[in-house]
Amino acid sequence: MTEKLTSSILNESYIKIEHKSGLKVYVYPKPEYTSSYAVFGAKFGSVNTTFYDEEGTLTVVPDGIAHYLEHKLFESEEGDAFAKFAATGASANAYTSFDKTMYLFSCTDNFITNLTSLLEFVQSPYFTDETVAKEQGIIAQEIKMYDDSPDWRVMFNLFNALYINHPLKVDLAGTVESISKITPRELYSCYNNFYNLDNMVLVAVGNIDIEELNACLDRCLKPQKPMTAKACIPQEPDGILKSYTEQSFDVSLPIFQLGFKEPVKNALSEKQLAASDVLMYMLFGESSPLYKELEENKLINNSFGFEHMESDTYSCVLLGGESRDPQKAAEIIRAYIKNCFKEGFKKEEFDLALRSVYGNAVASFNSVEGIASIIGAMHFCGREIYKYIDELSKLTLDDINERMKEQISLERCALSVIKPK
């Protein structure tokens, strides 16, 4: 089944294909572009260490296995998949997040050849005791590198303060101890349960011939049984574990992250996400009164940033950077938010934020990589990118005030600090 989706705002269209194999495919034609980009991934990330397998058995696998599986899929009996992409001049990569694993490539020509390579290696797992053991040293070094990163630690320390049961608090790559327990059997179990085409997505953006792409899909996609495995995320209380955490590191200035946890039962709607994006800009953007106050008091520098992290089982806001006095910065941020609840936002603040967020959203459609990444992420949360743009264009100040009540709570707030030794 093929569906054409059109945006009257952007005056652009893309195609959604429900392939007979069960895979959802999105094709965003950009015939005027010289480069093309494709991403093929599964809704399987670091939080999915507990699940009911295809036979209904509760299964628990070691932390970090999704990231480990990502590494191992590039290796087959025929050699390293990277070599195939390099032979055509393409650039390939992959990444694992909390809730998904994505494999990708970009190229200027030979798109179908590279797409064939992508589909083939992701659908051809090859794990042996020897190859799995060989990877442990490589990933252990990666884990140690992250353990030595103050920016990484300040974030995961914050997750461990905000969350009580949710596996978001577990490092993406696991620990050296947890990955030492990973076996080929467990890798195959995760692969067979989650790398089902029902649970995957393919997004292709660029100068792409639809007929050639359809022929490639028919040729490469392997028929599969419908997916029956079910992810199992522990029930998370609305409250937080603790309001403050700190760690000492070899840093010249303290680093902080202040976080706000939002209880969620399902993925946010397009309207909620759009309102969140504008709200974040209004509260923490460079033109906000809060940013100016922190800057004038020399409590932040150009490392300051903010992020809204969300999926269908979690949603949280993180903000921070270097600061000579993290506690004072957090105190000012909390006081500003409290005042916003009391006094509300000014119309001109909303108008400025909306224009900025809307402009950035529209500009993202000039990037093949940006389009593919956004559509893939939206798909796994049951959202559609053009509907998000539509909802963004219709937002009102009342929508922002309502969203703030849902998303920001001083009762569900925690501060993580990295102090100089």
Active site residues: 70
- Phi, psi at 116, each rounded to 5°: -60, -45
Encode 343-364: b = buried (16+ Cβ within 10 Å), e = exposed: eebeeebbebbbebbbeebeee
**Rounded-to-integer distance, Cα 420 and Cα 417, Å:** 10
CA 101 to chain centre: 9
Nearest-angstrom CA–CA distance, 321 and 151: 8
Is residue 42 a contact partner of residue 192, using CB atoms and an 8 Å limit?
Answer: no
Q: How far apart are CA 158 and CA 341, in angstroms?
A: 24
Q: Measure the CA–CA gap between 194 and 348, rounded to whole angstroms.
A: 47
Q: What CA–CA distance (Å, rounded) separates 380 from 403? A: 22
Which two three-digit tokens encode residue 241? Answer: 């574990």
Q: Classify residue 16 as exposed, middle or buried by CB count within 10 Å of its CB (0-12, 13-18, 19+).
A: middle
- CA atoms within a 13 Å half-sphere pointing along the CA-CB vector of 285: 17
Polymer length in residues for the chain: 421
Q: What residues does 24 pair with on adjacent strands?
A: 18, 201
